[in-house]
């Protein structure tokens, strides 16, 4: 190896080593891992508030009210417009991950290196960190959650007001938007909860059933009419129960009358709920709102932007349920044939 090439190799090794030790510079070494948030595990069931904040503002501000978790909902301009239930499983997973998170490897102590790990204070405009605040009966825990490690699902963590940054062994999942962890789907019912669904606009139809373990039947279906396939009516209930929203909007944020109507459905459940689902469109976007629900129904006071495909799945006419052959037979008169009154057989 030439002298010049050897010098280049040594310089490259030193540069890589310097970058590694830059992030490894720590205080006293530790031989055993420690919990990131001591005492959280023993008080986890008492936590009644979870707040996530980043450089752009409050990402999630969830509070437990009785047995339901709800969070503040903000517009794109950070205006508070109401509260909506949060996906309980996502909150539980976050709480469990933080309670079990261990600080397994100390990283940098230098503030100038925090940005490499996504652990700058959220007061910095370019901070990638999320400040997680947990509260429970006078107790509070806080931790800054940074980038994922290059290998695995480990996360970089730092306790606010402490210089030491750490690598944690816990996979901590966080929402990217204010609406990502809101409870889905829109309606709090399974398809088996619906007892009847009727189209109230245009060419009306109604499907109904006597009990949850029966299939839907089409009201006033003629004996000569056959369904396209066995589950064509049940699919309406399945699609309605499973519809998710892409964006949650306050009712005052959109002029509903300016939209083009698509379909209006009157829905009844086996538990006595009765409400109307209205779906309209504007160019490539579709929107849903609910009318005639009781004031206590949290899902009734919003406009939901939904996928256009899901809107079209509910925009059904009666011809969409019936087999083409059956439709023709029902519409065509019974043919009559002339009788040949020829000679009777001898």
Averaged pLDDT for residues 318-346: 59
pLDDT exceeds cutoff 70 at 105: yes
- Determine the pLDDT at residue 75: 80
For 251, the 3-state DSSP assignment is: helix
What pTM value is reported for the model?
Answer: 0.79
- Determine the pLDDT at residue 293: 86
Q: 219-261 pLDDT, tens per residue?
A: 999 999 999 999 999 999 999 999 999 999 999 889 999 999 9
Give the C-alpha separation, 123 to 133, whole Å: 15
List % helix, strand, coil for the chain (3-state, nearest 5). 25, 30, 45
pLDDT exceeds cutoff 80 at 152: no
DSSP 128: -
Identify how many contiguous H helices and E strands the chain contains and give both numbers: 7, 18
For 286, the 3-state DSSP assignment is: strand
Give the C-alpha separation, 243 to 190, whole Å: 11
Q: 264-314 pLDDT, tens per residue?
A: 999 999 998 999 999 999 999 999 999 988 878 899 989 999 999 999 999
Q: Sorting pLDDT into bands at 50, 70 and 90, what band is 28?
A: very low
pLDDT exceeds cutoff 70 at 98: yes
Whole-Å CA distances, 262 to 154, 246, 289, 299? 47, 18, 12, 20
Q: Sorting pLDDT into bands at 50, 70 and 90, what band is 18?
A: very low
Q: In the numeric block, which tokens belong to residue 91?
A: 């909150």
């Amino acid at each position: 190896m030439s002298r010049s090439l050897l010098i280049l190799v040594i310089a490259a090794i030193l540069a890589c080593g310097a970058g590694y030790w830059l992030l490894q510079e720590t205080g006293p070494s530790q031989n055993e891992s420690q919990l990131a948030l001591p005492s959280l595990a023993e008080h986890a069931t008492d936590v009644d508030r979870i707040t996530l904040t980043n450089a752009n503002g409050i990402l999630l501000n969830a509070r437990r009210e009785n047995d339901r978790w709800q969070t503040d909902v903000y517009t794109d301009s950070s205006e508070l417009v109401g509260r909506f239930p949060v996906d309980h499983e996502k909150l539980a997973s976050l709480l469990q991950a933080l309670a079990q998170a261990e600080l397994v490897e100390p990283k940098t102590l230098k503030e100038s290196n925090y940005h490499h790990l996504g652990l700058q204070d959220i007061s910095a405009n370019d901070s990638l960190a999320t400040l997680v605040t947990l509260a429970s009966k006078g107790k509070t825990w806080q931790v800054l959650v940074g980038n994922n490690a290059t290998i695995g699902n480990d996360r970089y963590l730092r306790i606010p007001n402490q210089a030491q940054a750490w690598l944690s062994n816990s996979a901590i999942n966080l929402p990217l938007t204010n609406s990502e962890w809101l409870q889905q789907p829109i309606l709090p019912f399974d398809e088996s909860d619906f007892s009847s669904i009727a189209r109230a606009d245009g060419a009306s139809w109604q499907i109904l059933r006597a009990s949850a373990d029966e299939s839907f039947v089409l009201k006033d279906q003629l004996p000569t009419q056959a369904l396209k396939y066995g589950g064509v009516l049940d699919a309406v209930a399945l699609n309605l129960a499973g519809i998710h929203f892409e964006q949650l909007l306050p009712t005052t944020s959109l002029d509903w009358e300016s939209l083009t109507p698509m379909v209006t459905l009157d829905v009844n459940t086996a538990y006595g709920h009765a409400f109307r689902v209205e779906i309209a469109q504007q160019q490539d976007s579709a929107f849903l709102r609910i009318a005639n629900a009781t004031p206590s129904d949290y899902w009734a006071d919003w406009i939901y932007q939904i996928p256009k495909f899901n809107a079209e799945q509910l925009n059904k006419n009666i011809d969409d349920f019936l087999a083409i052959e059956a439709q023709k037979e029902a519409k065509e008169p019974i043919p009559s044939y002339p009788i040949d009154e020829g000679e009777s057989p001898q």
